[in-house]
């Protein structure tokens, strides 16, 4: 994978024939390079952790892939339509959201992905740090150019949450719940978070960057979040395939995002409600300039949480930190 988003054609070819031998001559002809160049590329892939057999006069056979979220692996493992037309992959980066915003400002197309094995400056809501250790989770940002009004942007966070919860449930077999506005919980602890950022004019969106971090195989967390965070591995007791979670999430996202673009957000809302751990429960919400407690009744079409206070009024909450009360 090149830094300009281009793909490693040799890896794509070997992945498409995984478990079978491909002759050096066939590879040379298809890629338009010398056999010496093929040999050098094979050795490069081996250094990345790919298990590749080579037999004289027979060819090369890809036996096993490392646990890397390379673009070629994503493309070969999924059948995506608008996502992943362009994928920027980094072994380590400050923040995928920051990089995605730069790319979007420079014209990166709708559906572009920015993915990293590690974030050294991962961000959550309100500027909080998101711990993103190497090769343990999914640290991803999606560039979107939606046909929505700026006030409708929170719908994208809800769409992303539905896709992530469904992917975790399907692949890991774990009950995953959405906590308004942007968290995913497993057994009451945070397993994933979403950060949506937007560039917009008064009446139109230039682009949206939706970032998601999923704790997949993390086993250790900083002291300040040790009691509130978890991972799919800690819950299931075994390693969970990061690539499987990622590709299922992307597939689910395409489906629910299409509802959003087609004016059928009601379908997304219905799934969100079914996956919510807030609705019908008492919640406490702390905002920048307010605090309230009451019963979470519903969410409206704009993604606002409707809370019935103890005084009997129904408050429409647009943002804030939510805790579930007993």
Domain 9-64 has CATH 1.10.10.10: yes
How much is the pLDDT for 127?
Answer: 61
Q: Does the annotation place 97 within a ligand binding site? A: yes
How much is the pLDDT for 2?
Answer: 47
Which tokens hold the place of 139?
């640290």
Q: Does the annotation place 309 within a ligand binding site? A: no
- Apex CA 37: angle with CA 36 and CA 42, to 5°? 95
Q: Do domains 9-64 and 282-324 have the same CATH topology?
A: no
- Rounded-to-10 torsion of CA 216, 220, 224, 226: 70
How much is the pLDDT for 287?
Answer: 86
48 contact partners, CB below 8 Å, separation of at least 6? 66, 68
Is the backbone of residue 82 left (phi > 0), alpha (psi -120 to 50) or beta? alpha
For 62, 66, 120, the CA distances from 253, given in Å and listed in that order, are 30, 25, 26
pTM, rounded to two decimals: 0.94
How far is C-alpha 88 from the chain's CA centre? 14
Strands (E), 65-145: 87-90, 113-116, 137-144
Q: Which residues of the chain have pLDDT under 70?
A: 1-6, 123-128, 326
Q: Does the annotation place 323 within a ligand binding site? A: no
How much is the pLDDT for 122?
Answer: 79
How much is the pLDDT for 126?
Answer: 54
pLDDT in tens, 289-326: 889 999 999 999 888 999 999 999 999 998 888 998 76
Q: Does the annotation place 179 within a ligand binding site? A: no
Right CATH for 282-324 from 2.30.30.100, 2.60.120.650, 1.20.1260.10, 2.40.128.20: 2.30.30.100
36 contact partners, CB below 8 Å, separation of at least 6? none
What are the residue ranges spanned by the domains of the chain? 9-64, 71-275, 282-324
For 62, 73, 182, the CA distances from 255, given in Å and listed in that order, are 32, 21, 19
Right CATH for 71-275 from 1.10.1040.10, 3.40.190.10, 3.40.50.11690, 3.30.930.10: 3.30.930.10
How much is the pLDDT for 288?
Answer: 83
pLDDT in tens, 183-236: 999 999 999 999 999 999 989 999 999 999 999 999 999 999 999 999 999 999
Helix axis angle for 154-172 and 265-275, nearest 10°, is 50
5 DSSP assignment: S
Q: Does the annotation place 54 within a ligand binding site? A: no
Which tokens hold the place of 264?
């059928």
Instruction: Note whether 176 and 185 are within 8 A (CB).
Output: yes
């Amino acid at each position: 994978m090149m830094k300009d988003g281009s793909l490693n054609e040799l890896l794509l070819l070997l992945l498409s024939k995984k478990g079978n031998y491909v002759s050096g001559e066939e590879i040379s002809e298809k890629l338009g390079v010398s056999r010496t160049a093929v040999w050098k590329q094979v050795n490069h892939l081996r250094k990345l952790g790919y298990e590749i057999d080579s037999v004289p006069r027979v060819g090369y056979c890809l036996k096993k892939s490392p646990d890397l979220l390379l673009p070629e692996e994503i493309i070969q493992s999924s059948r995506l339509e608008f996502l992943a037309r362009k994928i920027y992959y980094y072994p380590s980066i400050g923040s995928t959201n920051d990089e995605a915003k730069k790319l979007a400002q420079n014209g990166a197309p709708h559906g572009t992905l920015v993915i990293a094995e590690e974030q050294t400056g991962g961000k959550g809501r309100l500027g909080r740090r998101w711990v993103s250790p190497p090769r343990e989770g999914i640290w991803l940002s999606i560039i979107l150019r939606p046909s929505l009004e700026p006030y409708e942007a929170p719908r994208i966070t809800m769409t992303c949450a539905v896709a992530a919860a469904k992917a975790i449930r399907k692949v890991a077999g774990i009950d995953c719940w959405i906590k308004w506005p942007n968290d995913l919980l497993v057994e009451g602890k945070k397993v994933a978070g979403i950060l949506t950022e937007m560039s917009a004019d008064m009446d139109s969106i230039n682009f949206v960057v939706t970032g998601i971090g999923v704790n997949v195989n993390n086993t250790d967390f900083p002291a300040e979040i040790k009691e509130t965070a978890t991972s799919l591995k800690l819950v299931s007791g075994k390693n969970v395939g990061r690539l499987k979670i990622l590709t299922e999430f992307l597939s689910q996202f395409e489906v629910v995002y299409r509802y959003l673009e087609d004016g059928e957000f009601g379908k997304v809302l219905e799934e969100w409600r079914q996956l919510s751990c807030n609705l019908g429960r008492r919640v406490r919400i702390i905002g920048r300039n307010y605090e309230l407690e009451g019963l979470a009744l519903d969410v409206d079409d704009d993604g606002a949480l409707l809370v019935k206070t103890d005084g009997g009024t129904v408050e429409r909450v647009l943002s804030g930190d939510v805790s579930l009360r007993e």
